[in-house]
Each structure stands twice: as C-alpha cells, then as structure tokens.
Structure 1
Amino acid sequence: MPASTPTRPHPHPHPLAVAARLVMLALVAVLTVLATGGAGQLWWVALLAAAGLPALLAPQHRLLGPLSRVAEAVVLGLAASQVAAVGTTGAAAYGLGASAVLPYLAVPVTVTALRRRFVEGVVLLGVTATTLVVCGVVTRVDGVRQLTQPGYLAVCAQWLLLAGLGLYTASVLHQLMRVRGEGKPQPYAEATRLLTQLRTVARQLPGATLDPGGISEHLLEELRTVARADRAAVLSASGGGRLVVLAQVGAERVDWETTLDADSAIADAWASQQPQTAARSQARSHVGGDVSALIVPLAAGVRTVGLVVLEADAPQAYPPPVVSRVTALTGPAALRLEAALLFDEVRSLATNEERQRLAREIHDGVAQELVMVGYGIDNALATVHDDTEETAESLRTLRQEVTRVITELRLSLFELRSEVDRHGGLAAAIAEYARTVGASGGLRVHLSLDESTARLPAATEAELLRIAQEAVTNARKHAGAANLWVTCEVDPPYAQIEVSDDGHGIADQRPDGRYGLAIMAERAERIRGRLEIRPRQPSGTTVAVVVGSSPRRDNVRGSAAAAAEGE
C-alpha cells in the first residue's frame, strides 16, 4: 500500500485562550444581568460562546477559525443592540445595555492580532460596526429608532475605537519586532554571507595571500626603506597577555619583550595605540650601547592587531619626520594584517571543529563496532572444541588483527584530539604525542627540546604539530624502526622540527606512507616552511621542517664562510 501523507492535526486549545474566553464570558454575563435587571438576556452570552467554540477548538483551521470569529462579531452586534433595548429607557440605560456586551469584542480582535492577521481584525471591526448600525436602525424602543439614542451611539463608537486602537498598536509592535529581527540576522545566515564575501575578496587580493607572516615580512622590507632598522619585528597578540613574533629582521638573535604587563614602551604602545620612542632596547637579550627604539601600533579601528618594533644602534634615530613616514606605511598594513589574522582564526576554528567531529564519529561508530566484533570472536573461541584447532587458530589470528585495528583507531583519536596548549607550548605537545605513539609501537623515543619563552602564531604551531604527528606515525607504521629521535627547536619566528628513525628507509614506503609525505609538504607550504626528507645514516629516514630563519645559525654559517675564505 502506498504510504499516506500524514496530516498535521490541529493543535489543542491553549489553556490561556480558554481561560480568557471564560473570564470574558463571565464578565459579559454579570454586566448583562446588571444592565437588564434579570437573567432573561443571558441566552445571548450562550450564543456568543457557541459562535466562538469552533475558533477555540481549531484556531489554525483556514476556514473554521475566521468564520467562527466573524460569527462572534455578528452575534456581538446583535446582542449589544438587543440588550441595550431591554430595561429602562433613557440615554444612560441605552449606553449601559450596549456596554454590557461590547467588552467581548476584545476576544476576536485580540486573537487576530496575536496571529498577525491584522486584515482579518479590520474586517471583524467592520462587521461589528455594520451589525450595530443595522440593528440600531431596525430596532425601535417606544417608537424611536435605537440608532438615534445618544447613549447607544457613544458607547458603540467608544468600544469600536478602543478595539481599533488595540489592533493598530499590535500591528505597529509587530512591524518594529520584524525590523529588529531583520537587522539581526540568524547566526548561520550571517556566517554564510561573511564567508562568501571573504572567499570573493580573498581571490581578488594582490598576490592572493592572507598569510600573517608574509604580510609582516613585506611590511618590514618597506619600513627599512624609509627608516634605519638594525633590528625590527612585527608582533601580534596570542592570548594570555603575551605577544608572538610574526616576522623579524636583523643580524643577531633578538629576544623581544613580549609581555604586555611589563613596564616597557611595547606595553605602552599597545595600550595607548600611539607610537612610542625609547632610548633603550625592547629586547631582553640586548647587551647595551646607544639604542633608539620606535614602536608603532598596528591599529584597525579601535582594535590593536599588532606592533612594529624598529631599533637602531644610534641615538635619536627616529625624529618626528621619520615617525610620520613609518606610520604612513603601517596604517594600510594594519588592515591587511587584521584580515590575515581573522582568516587564520576562522580557518583554525573550522579545522578544530571538524577534527573533533571526526573523533566523535569514529569513537561512537566504527570503534565501538570493532570492539563488539572482538567480543564476538572471543565468545566464538570459547566455544571451539579441541578437534577444530585450525578454526581456533584462524579465530585467534582474526582477533589479533581486530586488536591491531582498534589500537590504530585509538591512536588516530588521540591524534585528532591533540592540540597545542597555550600554556604548555609546541614542544610539550610534540613530546607527549611521540611518547604515547612510541609506547604503543614499542619504539624507544629520544627527545631534544629547545623552546624559548616567546611563542609562534597559533596557526603555525598547529601545522607544525600535525607535521610532527604524521612523521612519527609514518615511522611507527611503515619504517620498522626500534628508535625514534625527535628534535624540536623553537625560537620565534624560527622553528625546526626533526623526526628520525632507524628503520629500513624511505625507499620501501607504502602508498599510504607516501600520501602522508605529500600531506606534510602541503602543510609546510601553508606556513611558508621548508620540508626536507633525507636518508639517515646508517639506516632510517629523517623528516625535517623549518620555518623562518635563525639569525644565530646564519651568524655561525657566516663566520664559518669567512674563516674558509681567510684560509
């Protein structure tokens, strides 16, 4: 039989709607008794209740609801004119009789306003007014038409006007709420719009780059053309009241002051968003001598996104004209750097969310199912008889393979959930991963960690961690090694990670291992790093990734080259 399309049932009567109608009916009944001096006209109240019953039971019905409310308006006009005609004569009596029933007009009008059917509310008011006028013309009391009685006209006009004002007020409030809602889009709709714009703009950028490091290096090159700079750096916030070095130039290693809580020109420039000059170095490693320092904030609107630090080994190297030329270049660069940092942050959030989602799906899905398969194999082994040794051996082999796959999944989950702790640092995250994976694979892990107090940008640290994880995983799964050497040297903006093993080398790598190498190369290129894969002597492979340049190493190489030329 074909599946029938389910119909949505009408909702049950809302308790508040039922209570409101009952209260209003009771009020109208009491007022009618007081106006007429008896209970003879209460049948109009019962007729009002019967007319409104369909609208109460099926408020969403496209026909019953509106027709029931129109019936209420007609009965209301008839009841008001008839109750007003009963009892004593006189303008006051006519007014009292009509006002006994007309308060019920608030019920159908309020319902239409709550359901945002304002046109229907206007129609109800028109139907009620028409009924009141027609009944006022037809009905005669003591030979006089009821419509000519001042009390009748005044009370009818008063209640119709009050109901119309209530309907108009509800319409205005609805328009204001809708405009306010349109001015505050839904989060996902706004995110989609912004990301679409970001994609379009990113494709139109000169050089198609949104890399904070590349933008910072280009800015330093421009600044050195307008101001002397023996040392220079671009710093950005990393959280925790510290700064990270995005790029730097100079002939020697510089340990910049990266704490915003310190008493320094760097902290003052960050807080005030004004250029600061100083007669002392902003580097902890400076040994002394005449120094001029210029710190220019990179401000995008009211937000400080970074700092440019320039230092020259000379007094008074940054007079006001030089400062003006520097700020003329840093103004546009601030907006470029903010766009790059925001792009990095959005990409990092999206990547981390996806990794966590995959980890949850693997843990709750295939991992649990494999565990159940393992339990099933264990139960099968327990029931195998001694005369079926071949079957038992097959089951034991299958159980070992399931155990191996479960171990691989657990390591994959650990890798997906591993992140660089903003307090522990990159070296600690790599060391923890290497120890865990090495222990599971029976590898002896040798660690060499050298990390300064300064930090790399979060996006760079995340990519370096993933490269190190892939290199360690390849060594465990494909190299057949007994030892693993992991070296981590971090001296922002320079960093070098090396993972070596004593296995059978890269030549025998399986296709999935080569795919891992391709992924590492893509990650290194994303952070403008250099990936090196070379044989290790006497056996094994070394995977190294280098980001930035080390002034300390460059000085050593330069000294060695000078000595060689002298010989």
Structure 2
Amino acid sequence: MLALVAVLTLITTHDVTELRWIGLLAVAGVPAVVAPRHRILGPLGRFAEVVIVALAASQVAAMATVGASLTPGLGASAMLPYLSVPLTVAALHRRLREAAALLGVAALTLLVSGVLTRSGGQPQITQLGYVAVCAQWLVLAALGTVAAGTLQRIMQTRGETKPQPYAEATRLLTQLRSVARQLPGATLDPGGISEHLIEELRTVARADRMAVLSASGGGRLVVLAQAGVDRVDWETTLDADSAIADAWASQQPQTASRSQARSHRGGDVSALVVPLVAGVRTIGLVTLEADVANAYPASVVRLVTALTRPAALRLEAALLFDEVRSLATNEERQRLAREIHDGVAQELVMVGYGIDNALATLPEEATETAEELRTLRGEVTRVITELRLSLFELRSEVDRHGGLAAAIAEYARTVGASGGLRVHLSLDESTARLPAATEAELLRIAQEAITNARKHAGAANLWVTCAVDPPFAQIEVSDDGQGIADQRPDGRYGLAIMAERAERIRGRLEIRPRHPSGTTVAVVLGTSPRRDSVRDSV
C-alpha cells in the first residue's frame, strides 16, 4: 500500500518532496508491524498512521491543485487508500472499538486539515470535490473494517466449533447405535440381510440358483448369501466378460442366456443380474439363474428391481457397520499388542535377567537355592513364551492376497512349533473370498481352538482342516490329547468365546470327542455337502 500511494502521489503532484509523507507513514507503521498485539505500541502506531494519512491527503490535494491544475479531490485520493491498512489490521485483531476510534480520528483530522489548508485563497473544505472524495474513502474504509471484523468472527467460530476426531466419532457412533436399535429385527448383519433379500426375490421370480455378491477390494466380489441345490462357483472378477461385470459398471440390470457360474455344465439358462445401488455407488449385485429360456422378461425385471432398491440401502448400512467394527477391533488389538510388548513383556525379560545374575553370583554350596532359582527362571521363560504367542495372535490378520487358509496355517505352524506339536494341515480354499469381517472371526475361532489344544490338551498331534467355498466355510481343529472333560475353567471360557464368535457370523460351533482320544472343535458357515476326506483320516 505504501508503494501504491507513493506512485499516486507522484502522478498527482509531480513533486518528489511530497514523498516525505510516505516516509512518515513507514516510520509510523513500524510499531504496528513489530508489536501488532501490544497493548500500547500497536494502537499508538495505527493512530499515528491515520493522522499522517489525513494530514498528507489535505496537503497533497492542495499541491495537486496548485501544481498540476487538478481538482483537490483527485489529489486527496492519492493518499486516502492507505486508510484501509490500520483500520483492517485493528479489525482483524478483534479491536473493533479501536477501529471505530481510528475512523473517527480520520474524519476529524480530514475536516480540520481541510479547513486549515488553503488553495487559491479558498478553504479546501469548501471545495465539493475534496469533500466527496474524503467521504467516499471514509465509507470504503468503514465497509472494509466491517468486512474484516466479520471474517475474523467467522474464522474464530469455525476454530471453536471444529469437532475433534474422537468427539465426532463418538457422536456418529451414538447415532448409529440409536438407529440400529430401531431397525426391523435390530440387525446390521450383511449375511442376514442378503438371505432375507433372496427369500423376497423367490416370491416374484423363478430362480434355480441365486446369490448376493458384494465388493471386497482388488476388483473381486464376495458371496454374502446364495440359494440353490448345489454350491455354485460364481464369476467374482469384475474384469471378466460377463453380465456381472457389465451390471456393476453400468448400474443397470443385465440379462443373459448363459450362466454366470464358472462351474455350470451347460444347457438352457436364463440369467438376470441386478446391481444394488445406494445413491451413486454400486455396493453389490443380485444374480438369478433359471434353467429355462426367457425366464426374465421386462415385467419380472421391474419386480426384482423394486425389491432390490430398498435392500441396497439396508445392505450398505450393514457393510459400513461391519467395516467400522472391524477397524475399531483391529486398532484395539494392535494397541493391546503394543502395550503388552512395551510393558509387562519387557518387565518379565528384566526379571529373567535378574534371576540369571543371581544364579551367576550364587555360591557353589547353595545348591538348593540354585535349583529353586532355575525353576523360577524356567517359569519366567514359559510366561514370556506365552506372551509372545499372545502378541502373535493379536497381530495376526487375514491377508487380502494370502487368504484365510494361509493365515490359519501360519498360526498353526507357529503355535505347534512352540508347543512341540506335530501339525497336520489340510487346506482347500476357493479363489472366491468371504467377507473380510467373516474371515476375521473365523481366524479368531481357529486361533482359540489351536491355543486351547496347545495349552490344555497335552496332545502330541494337531490336525487343522480349512475348507472355504463362499458362502460356505468349515474349519476343524482336532488333537489327540486328554479330551475336553478335564479342561480347566479358562479353557471352557475360550469355548464360550468361540461360540459367541460363531453366532455373530451366523455359523455353528461343534465340539465333540475324537476317537480314540482328544477333541475336535469345528465351526461351519453355510450349508454344503460334507467334506470328509480329511475328517475320516483323523
């Protein structure tokens, strides 16, 4: 602004000596720049700037009139733009009273200096051009002050009302809990909602095979629920040449005369794929197939679409709830793992070192004390090993690319090696994937069963069977130990936890004796013909 008024002054007066006012303004502005919030220096500097601007405006107006034959108003307008600087700064520093006082001082100084300054033998104030320009710039300065004050209040309000992440999360989760309690059946289970949708669709359309699919990331789909005589190997890739991929991309129902199942053997087939669209986002698909031609005319498509529209919103809410719950659970498991590792695990290691030092400095004749210390050292080592296995369990997750079977196998090998168990694995996993939340629960059930076998069974062998063919899954953990009847209370508590997890994913937990000794713990999700090749061998 100093540079601007300097240029305007030179243009209007053609006198370099009038730049002395610019120098005075620069000096007067130093306190406001160095200490803008100081209780005395800041306001003092701004008042000095206003007075200098008003005096300079009347002087430059007189010089412009005499030297350049210009109107006094044009000369005054060379300096008056600088009025906006001290006024705006005062408003931005929440000094509105100071800004009003500055505006009053500016008006009074312009009036007095205009009266005292004469040009051509007449008082400057009697010249209408000068008065009009001064009034114009005072009004503009006042409006700028009001705008600056309003902007400052808006910024302050936003800063005060900006919600903290955890406070906002708490508010949203509280709302979700309230809404969830009011839902029909109080359910936010994607599998249950999908099965209910299938039952509804059966009333309006013929379908020998039907499935509800949802996105799982990586350009693949997962089967949330399906109906039919046999399990179907549905096309779950979105980059394939199929009606499923077309419906996902176009968000429009697609009909086809060939099956969308990779395992179909041929014959007359009618297929209908309807996208589940919530807002502008595709969250899933419904696939219907009938072993006849032309089973899905336009009238049937309209009936199916009418049922899928509201179901899409319900399914989106359930999937979002599952995702939030999984994120919160995983974060809490990682936090617990960090606290155990950095806390009690490190302290136990230091206790072990202390016992080792005591053994090293113990006299040779204190054999009884040495034996007790060795026993204590062995117990500390055992507890540290248990903690490390607990940390491994807390940090274990189902890898997007490795799959559920790989995660269970890794855990079984690690735990078997630490417990001296011979591990027998049988893994049969389809390329299709279960929902992430379901895979996580199945992994935890398998981990608990394997841990119980290592801790309480006294077994030498461990058999782990994992069969996954979405939406079906079956996991069995068998041992040749002492059986379940003699297990400790903490082992029975582990069984209760497994039962709760199985119920959460709408599966069933089976616990039965193994012949000739040991226990079998199995969790089954969905329905399927029995897979008994491995079960018979154990």
CA distance in 1, matches of 2:25, 2:155: 36
Cα pair distance change 1:513/1:279, threshold 3 Å? same
Answer whether contact 2:25 2:53 (CA < 8 A) is retained. Answer: no
Distance 2:294 2:63 in 1: 104
Q: What one-letter code is carried by the residue in structure 2 that aligns with 1:268?
A: D
Which is further off, 463-472 or 383-392?
383-392
Cα offset, 1:96, TM superposition = 9.5
Given that residues 231 and 249 in structure 1 are in contact (C-alpha distance below 8 angstroms), is that contact kept between their aligned partners in structure 2?
Answer: yes
Distance 2:472 2:72 in 1: 95
Flag the 1:204–1:410 CA change in 2: closer, same or farther, 3 A.
same
Aligned residue number for residue 411 of structure 1: 389
TM-score, normalising length from structure 1? 0.81
8 A Cα contact 1:44 1:79, kept in partner: no
1:283 paired with 2:288, answer no
Q: Is the alpha carbon distance of 1:114 and 1:392 closer, same or farther for their aligned partners in structure 2, counting shifts above 3 Å?
A: farther
Q: Structure 1 residues 42, 301: closer, same or farther in 2, change over 3 A?
A: closer
The amino acid of 2:36's aligned partner reads: P
* Structure 2 partner of 1:495: 473
More displaced stretch, 458-467 vs 194-203 = 194-203
1:344 aligns with 2:322: yes
Q: In structure 2, give the amino acid aligned to 1:274.
A: Q
Contact 2:220-2:237 within 8 A present in 1 as well: yes
**Equivalence for 1:392:** 370
The 3-state SS of whatever aligns with 2:235 is: coil
Paired position in structure 1 for 2:534: none
Match of 1:108 among 66, 82, 86: 86
Of 5, 28, 39, 1:48 maps to 28
Does the residue aligned with 1:544 lie in a helix, a strand or coil?
strand
Separation of aligned partners in 2, 1:85 and 1:487: 97
- The structure 2 residue matched to 1:456, chosen from 417, 434, 440, is 434
Residue type at the aligned position of 1:399: R
Instruction: Spell out, residue by residue over 1:271-301, the C-alpha distance to the aligned partner (whole angstroms, 9 max, x if none).
Output: 2222222222222222222222222222222
The whole-number CA distance in structure 1 between the counterparts of 2:338 and 2:140 is 59
Of 366-375 and 197-206, more deviation after overlay is shown by 366-375
Return closer, same or farther for 1:335/1:101 CA change in 2, 3 Å cut-off: closer
Query: Is 1:330–2:308 an aligned residue pair?
Result: yes
Report the Cα distance in structure 1 between the residues aligned to 2:240 and 2:530, rounded to whole angstroms.
29
TM-score (normalised: structure 2)? 0.85
Cα separation, 2, equivalents of 1:24 and 1:362: 66
Residues 62-91 of structure 1: per-residue CA shift (max 9 Å, x gap) = x43774366436643675489669989948
- 1:133 matched to 2:111: yes
Give the whole-Å Cα distance in 2 for the aligned partners of 1:364 and 1:305. 41
Separation (CA, whole Å) in 1 of partners of 2:119 and 2:363: 108
2:64 & 2:292 partners in 1: Cα distance? 109
Q: For 1:305, what is the secondary structure of its paired residue?
A: strand
Residue 44 of structure 2 is matched in structure 1 by 68
- Alpha-carbon distance in 1 for matches of 2:325, 2:405: 23
Q: Partner letter of residue 340 of structure 1? A: A
Change (3 A) 1:87 1:178: closer
Q: Kindly indicate whether residue 254 of structure 2 is the aligned counterpart of residue 270 of structure 1.
A: no
Deviations 1:385-412 (CA, angstroms, capped at 9, x unpaired): 3243344334333332332222222212
Partner residue of 1:59?
36
Tell whether the 8 Å contact from 2:211 to 2:287 is kept in structure 1 after alignment.
yes
Mapped contact 1:237–1:243 kept (Cα < 8 A): yes
Quickly say closer, same or farther: Cα 1:316–1:28, change in 2 above 3 A: closer
Superposition deviation, residue 465 in structure 1: 0.2
**What displacement does 1:513 show?**
2.1
**What is the match of residue 531 of structure 1?**
509
Unaligned runs of 5+ residues in structure 1 are 1-19, 555-567
Report Cα offsets for 1:305-333 as digits up to 9, x if no partner: 22222222222222222222222222211
Given that residues 276 and 294 in structure 1 are in contact (C-alpha distance below 8 angstroms), is that contact kept between their aligned partners in structure 2?
A: yes
Give deviations 1:496-530, integer Å, cap 9, x for gaps. Answer: 11111222222332232222222111111110111
Assess, with a 3 A threshold, how the Cα gap between structure 1 residues 151 and 256 changes in structure 2: closer, same or farther: closer
Q: Is the 8 A contact 1:36 1:86 kept in 2?
A: no
- Counterpart-to-counterpart distance in 2, 1:213 and 1:265: 23
SS at match of 1:533: strand
Question: SS of 2:485's equivalent?
Answer: helix
Amino acid of the structure 1 residue aligned with 2:410: E
Counterpart of 2:208 in structure 1 is 230
C-alpha contact 2:201 2:304 (8 A) present in aligned 1: yes
Question: Which stretch of the first structure deviates more once superposed, 75-84 or 109-118?
Answer: 75-84
Q: 1:319 aligns with which of 297, 306, 310?
A: 297
List gaps (5 residues or longer) in structure 2: 532-538
Retained in 2: the 8 A contact 1:481–1:502? yes
Which deviates more, 433-442 or 171-180?
Answer: 171-180
CA distance in 1, matches of 2:371, 2:14: 98
**Could you tell me how far 1:208 is from its partner in structure 2?**
0.4
**CA offsets per residue over residues 420-441 of structure 1, 9 Å max, x none?**
1121111111000000111111
Secondary structure at the aligned position of 1:217 is classed as helix
User: For 2:402, which of 420, 424, 435 is the aligned residue?
Assistant: 424
Q: Distance in 2 between matches of 1:331 and 1:93?
A: 74
Tell me the SS of whatever aligns to 1:508.
coil
Q: CA deviation at 1:157?
A: 4.2
Q: State the secondary structure of the residue aligned to 2:288.
A: strand
Query: Aligned partners of 1:370, 1:27: CA distance in 2, in Å?
Result: 78
Q: CA deviation at 1:203?
A: 0.7
Match of 1:250 among 222, 225, 228: 228
Is the contact made by 1:294 and 1:318 (CA closer than 8 Å) also made in structure 2?
A: yes
SS of the counterpart of 2:205? coil
Tell me how far apart the structure 2 counterparts of residues 547 and 97 of structure 1 sit (CA, whole Å). 89
The aligned amino acid for 1:312 is A
Distance in 2 between residues matched to 1:40 and 1:389, nearest whole Å: 99
* 1:158-173 correspondence to structure 2 within 5 Å: 159-161=137-139, 163-164=141-142, 166-167=144-145, 170=148
Maintained 8 Å contact 1:446/1:485: yes
| Candidates 220, 223, 231, aligned match of 2:198 | 220
Q: Secondary structure in 2 aligned to 1:487?
A: strand
Query: How many Å separate the matches in 2 of 1:26 and 1:382?
Result: 87
Q: Aligned partners of 1:503, 1:521: CA distance in 2, in Å?
A: 21
Q: Is the CA contact (8 Å cut-off) linking 2:253 and 2:272 kept in structure 1? A: yes
Are residues 376 and 109 of structure 1, via their aligned partners in 2, closer, same or farther at CA, if it must alter by over 3 Å? farther
In structure 1, what is the Cα distance between the partners aligned to 2:169 and 2:445? 30
| Cα distance change on mapping 1:533 and 1:106 into 2, 3 Å | same
How many Å separate the matches in 2 of 1:430 and 1:103?
75
CA contact (8 A) 1:80 1:97 kept: no
- What is the aligned partner in structure 2 of residue 5 from structure 1? none
CA distance in 2, matches of 1:130, 1:414: 79
Question: What amino acid is aligned across from residue 64 of structure 1 in structure 2?
Answer: I
Shifted more, 322-331 versus 366-375: the winner is 366-375
Judging changes above 3 Å, is the alpha-carbon distance between structure 1 residues 329 and 182 closer, same or farther for their aligned structure 2 residues? farther
Root-mean-square deviation (Å): 4.0
Structure 2 counterpart of 1:229, one-letter code:
A
Question: Aligned match of 1:547 in 509, 514, 525?
Answer: 525
